[in-house]
Amino acid sequence: MSGDWDLEVKPHLTPIFAWGAAAIIVAAHVVVGALLKIGSTGVFFRTADQIAIALVGVVIAALVTLFARPRLRVGPAGVAVRNLLGYRLFPWDTVVDVSFHQGARWARLDLPDDEYVPVMAIQAVDKARAIDAMDQVRALLDRYTRDLNSQGRPHRP
Tell whether the torsion through CA atoms of 94, 95, 96 and 99 is positive or negative: positive
pLDDT(1) > 50? no
Average pLDDT over residues 58-78: 97
Please name the amino acid found at residue 138. R
pTM: 0.82
Q: What is the rounded average pLDDT for all residues in the chain? A: 91
* pLDDT score for 151: 61
Average pLDDT over residues 64-85: 97
Query: Taking a C-beta distance cutoff of 8 angstroms, is the pair 74, 65 a contact?
Result: no
- In angstroms, the first-to-last Cα distance of the chain is 31
* pLDDT score for 39: 76
Average pLDDT over residues 58-73: 98
Query: Taking a C-beta distance cutoff of 8 angstroms, is the pair 16, 129 a contact?
Result: no
Query: Taking a C-beta distance cutoff of 8 angstroms, is the pair 70, 121 a contact?
Result: yes
Query: Taking a C-beta distance cutoff of 8 angstroms, is the pair 104, 156 a contact?
Result: no
pLDDT(50) > 90? yes
